[in-house]
Structure 1
Amino acid sequence: MNRERLMQVLLSPIISEKANIAAEVSARYAFRVVPDADKREIGRAVELMFDVKVDRVQVLNMKGKRKRFRQRMGKRPGWRKAYVRLQPGHEIDFGGGA
């Protein structure tokens, strides 16, 4: 894999209550990823950026919500989410010890 491509696959971590519970209970971390990334690329990108071993990757396509913008109906864009489960003994710390 191209190292530059792997550096662009992960857009941001998803830090929510549901994602934090999944991280504590089963070492599953959620990321927002580029729409054309596959499971292998996502796993390799996490291993490269955080120096951990990935056990499993699950990918979801999130549909954009329909919203009203004043008098007009509109649609937010869709995006792609990945849940990455790490092998036992590995952990990612997004807080930096804060």
Structure 2
Amino acid sequence: MKNPRDIIKRPIITEQTSEFMANKRYVFEVDLRANKTEIKLAIQSIFKVKVTSVNTLRMPAKPKRYGRHSGYTSEWKKAIVQLSADSNELEFFETV
């Protein structure tokens, strides 16, 4: 099994994801090669909670320009994780 810390890269905190937190839904940036089962097991092992569902999205690369130089941002993967009703809320999201 892969290291759970390699699968979960960082949490994504925006206005929309802050509204998700009231319903125990959390959004993370994850490894591009990770599947839903690996993401679920990684969240459960890191935070000691029970995950009911995982939805994933691949965010495409976007064209960017800086003066006459042009390029693309990196492609990345987003996971929306739904916790069970009896699970505790995640610790580092409580201060938001």
TM-score for both structures, normalised by structure 2:
0.90
Q: Percent identity?
A: 33
How far does residue 17 in structure 1 lie from its aligned partner after superposition?
Answer: 0.9
Q: Specify the alignment match of 2:45 in structure 1.
A: 48
Q: What secondary structure sits across from 2:90 in the alignment?
A: coil
**d(CA) in 2 for partners of 1:95, 1:30:** 11
Cα shift readout 1:51-95 (whole Å, capped 9, x = no counterpart): 000000000000121111211221111100000000102221214
**d(CA) in 1 for partners of 2:16, 2:95:** 20
- 2:14 matches 1:16: yes
Q: Give runs of ≥4 in structure 1 deviating > 3 Å.
A: 95-98
How far does residue 8 in structure 1 lie from its aligned partner after superposition?
Answer: 1.1
**d(CA) in 1 for partners of 2:34, 2:95:** 30
Which runs of 5 or more structure 2 residues have no equivalent in the other structure? none
Bigger drift between 34-43 and 63-72 goes to 63-72
Which runs of 5 or more structure 1 residues have no equivalent in the other structure? none
